[in-house]
């Protein structure tokens, strides 16, 4: 069972966008226009991506090139969401995201769990990369807010003789784990609350439920491992002063 192109799809999409925009308007939420624009962007982007993916699936190297493009867009997106400016903070964000994605994908593909083919590389690597962007955005936004709101605490750490990196770590560490909770909750409740994309994708592709379950568990466990690495390195890069917005770079002087 798949969703077919046609008038029923168009009507459903229009109805869903109208529903979201109407509720946002009635609730006075400042996202009414964003809902419509996001839907238009999603449609146009997926049309273009579908053309590219059709080519990328034919060759492993093209598949990895497409994933690299996704990774680059992910770095730019998380940089914008967390207020990063300049080359060094973006490179630090890329390093944090890659630190989680690369080892997990190496275990999955080099270990032979999944074949090094386009149809396997694009969806698995795409899901992992997307989740690295998400967790980096979550940890960045929360940690930067903590640093802005607790400058006096940071200064107290310094007054006690601690170094700048230790002071920054001391401020952000208590809430660092919160960015991991969405993925952990999804793993804990998979099959009970929802059936995530990898499971549904295998089923729609003609696979049996056992193969779908195996693929989904592999992806979820990989996401959890990768996100822990991303969050840990992100904290280290914040402490080193590399992964900070410009305002915090100025305020958090040694």
Residue 42's alpha-carbon distances to 24, 47, 49, 253, in angstroms, are: 19, 8, 10, 42
Same domain, yes or no: 17 and 126 = no
pLDDT in tens, 178-218: 899 888 888 888 766 666 666 566 555 656 676 767 777 88
Same domain, yes or no: 201 and 228 = yes
Same domain, yes or no: 92 and 27 = no
Same domain, yes or no: 149 and 206 = yes
The total number of structural domains that make up the chain: 2
Domain-terminating residue out of 12, 29, 56: 56
pLDDT in tens, 15-33: 999 999 999 889 888 888 8
Same domain, yes or no: 191 and 133 = yes
Structural domain range at position 61: 57-251
Output the average pLDDT for the chain: 86
Task: Give SS3 for 208.
Answer: coil
Q: How many residues does the chain have?
A: 254
Q: In this structure, are residues 127 and 133 in contact, taking their beta carbons and an 8 Å threshold?
A: no
Same domain, yes or no: 73 and 48 = no
Same domain, yes or no: 123 and 217 = yes
Domain-terminating residue out of 16, 40, 56: 56
How many helices (H) and strands (E) the chain has is answered by: 11, 0
Q: Which two tokens stand for residue 57?
A: 């699936």
Give dist(CA 242, CA 249) in Å, integer: 9
Domain-terminating residue out of 21, 38, 56: 56
Same domain, yes or no: 214 and 95 = yes
182-186, long-range: CB within 8 Å, 24+ apart, which pairs? Answer: 182/134, 182/138, 183/131, 183/135, 183/220, 183/223, 183/224, 183/227, 184/224, 186/220
């Amino acid at each position: 069972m798949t969703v077919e192109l046609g008038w029923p799809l168009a009507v459903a999409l229009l109805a869903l966008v109208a529903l979201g925009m109407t509720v946002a308007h009635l609730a006075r939420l400042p996202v009414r226009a964003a809902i419509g624009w996001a839907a238009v962007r999603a449609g146009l982007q997926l049309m273009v991506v579908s053309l590219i993916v059709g080519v990328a699936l034919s060759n492993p190297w093209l598949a990895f090139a497409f994933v690299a493009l996704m990774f680059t867009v992910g770095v730019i997106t998380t940089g914008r969401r967390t207020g990063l400016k300049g080359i060094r903070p973006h490179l630090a964000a890329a390093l944090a995201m890659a630190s989680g994605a690369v080892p997990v994908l190496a275990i999955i593909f080099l270990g032979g769990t999944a074949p090094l083919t386009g149809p396997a590389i694009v969806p698995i690597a795409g899901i992992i990369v997307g989740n690295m962007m998400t967790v980096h955005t979550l940890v960045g936004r929360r940690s930067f807010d903590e640093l802005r709101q607790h400058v006096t605490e940071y200064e107290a750490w310094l007054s006690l003789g601690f170094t700048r990196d230790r002071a920054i770590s001391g401020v952000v560490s208590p809430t660092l784990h919160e960015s991991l909770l969405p993925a952990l909750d999804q793993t804990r409740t998979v099959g009970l609350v929802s059936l995530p994309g990898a499971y549904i994708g295998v089923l729609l592709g003609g696979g049996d439920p056992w193969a779908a379950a195996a693929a989904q568990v592999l992806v979820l466990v990989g996401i959890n491992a990768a996100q822990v690495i991303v969050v840990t390195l992100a904290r280290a890069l914040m402490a080193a002063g590399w992964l900070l917005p410009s305002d915090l770079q100025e305020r958090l002087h040694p």
